[in-house]
């Protein structure tokens, strides 16, 4: 079966398919283009989108504001 | 390694002279201190000489490799030195078979963009070809699952030409 892909940067699409096989985003091949990759994965693998975004935020050292809440013990 | 896990190996069984349910015969590697260390039983083997033979081994009898052995074989949990089944043997096919510590994901990622057994070819924008396997796409992506289900006919060409992607704001 042939699937012709003309709407995506070939490099990003290759990273996407590699992610399907390895469960790891090849950040080297991605070349820092995480934003476009997130766009691609939101279309072709939307069930992975949250995780990809989480990985991206971790690499950036960013904590989403909702995760900054600390629940204190009530005395 | 989990104590009760079972490893299954496949291989081409070369002759019709096959006896079922024979025990594995593990031969030592010449020139090393390795001894036979895997105990297991073979599942019934096909007799037509064409199908793959599967051998299941539980790892209850496995022991870890020594550091010296790891230098020879690399990091792995155990090593199957040779398979033999009565009058015919697998030595030619399984002269040395390592049981890696790798995960299923590692094994799967090895097949990325490999032509072996591929059943999908992505034709990318720069005329590059990317080989893939339907089962991986089907299992990993809801998008491709729907795509493959709607295009079950063989050799059908699918074009993904929609260029509008969802804008995402971080």
Which pLDDT does position B82 carry in this prediction? 35
Co-location of B120 and B41 in the same domain? no
For the segment B106-133, the average pLDDT, to the nearest whole number, is 81
Pair (B19, B97) in one structural domain: yes
Any domain includes B46: yes
Pairwise pLDDT comparison (B133 vs B82), residue with the higher score: B133
Tell me, yes or no, whether B85 and B120 share the same domain: no
Task: List Cα–Cα distances, A18 to A64, A69, B75, B109, in angstroms.
Answer: 27, 35, 24, 7
- Neighbour tally for A51: CB within 10 Å: 13
pLDDT band, residue B128 (cuts 50/70/90): confident
pTM above 0.80, yes or no: no
Please report, for chain A, the start and end positions of each structural domain, with discontinuous segments joined by +. Answer: 10-68
Say yes or no: B39 and B58 in one domain.
yes
Residues of chain A neighbouring B158 (CB-CB closer than 8 A): 1-4
| B166 found inside a domain | no
| Whether residues B137 and B77 fall in one domain | no
**How distant is the Cα of A67 from the closest Cα of chain B, in angstroms?**
15
Whether residues B49 and B120 share a domain: the answer is: no
pLDDT at position B36 over 60 = no
Average pLDDT in chain A: 77
pLDDT at B22: 34
Q: Which domain holds residue B122?
A: 108-150
- Residues of chain B contacting residue A17, judged by C-beta atoms under 8 Å apart: 112-113, 122, 130, 132, 137
Total tally of structural domains belonging to chain B: 2
Rounded to the nearest 10 degrees, how much is the dihedral formed by the CA atoms of B69, B70, B74, B80? 50
Residues B86, B116: one domain?
no
User: What's chain B's average pLDDT?
Assistant: 51
Residue B85 lies in a domain: yes
Does residue B136 share a domain with residue B121? yes
**B32 and B69 part of one domain:** yes
Is the Cβ of A47 closer than 8 Å to some Cβ of chain B? Answer: yes
Shortest Cα distance from A73 to chain B (angstroms)? 32
| Percentage of chain A lying above the pLDDT 90 cut | 4
* Contact between chains at A42 and B166 (C-beta distance less than 8 A): yes
- Distance in Å, alpha carbon of A16 to nearest chain B alpha carbon: 10
């Amino acid at each position: 079966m042939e699937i012709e892909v003309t709407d995506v940067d070939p490099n990003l699409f290759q990273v996407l398919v590699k992610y399907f096989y390895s469960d790891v985003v090849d950040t080297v091949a991605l070349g820092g283009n995480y934003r476009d990759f997130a766009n691609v994965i939101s279309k072709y693998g939307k069930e992975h989108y949250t995780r990809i975004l989480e990985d991206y935020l971790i690499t950036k050292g960013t904590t989403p504001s909702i995760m900054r809440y600390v629940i204190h013990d009530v005395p | 390694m989990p104590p009760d896990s079972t490893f299954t190996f496949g291989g081409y069984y070369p002759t019709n002279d096959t006896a079922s349910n024979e025990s594995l015969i593990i031969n030592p590697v010449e020139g090393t201190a390795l001894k036979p260390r895997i105990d297991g039983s073979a599942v019934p083997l096909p007799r037509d000489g064409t199908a793959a033979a599967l051998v299941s081994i539980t790892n209850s009898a496995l022991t870890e490799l020594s550091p010296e052995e790891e230098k020879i074989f690399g990091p792995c949990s155990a090593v199957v030195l040779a398979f033999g089944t009565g009058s015919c043997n697998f030595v030619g096919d399984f002269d040395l078979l390592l049981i890696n510590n790798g995960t299923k994901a590692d094994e799967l990622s090895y097949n990325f963009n490999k032509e072996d057994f591929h059943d999908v070819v992505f034709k990318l924008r720069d005329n590059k070809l990317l080989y893939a396997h339907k089962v991986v796409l089907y299992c990993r992506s809801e998008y491709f699952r729907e795509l493959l289900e709607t295009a079950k006919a063989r050799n059908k060409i699918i074009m993904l030409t929609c260029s509008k992607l969802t804008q995402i704001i971080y």
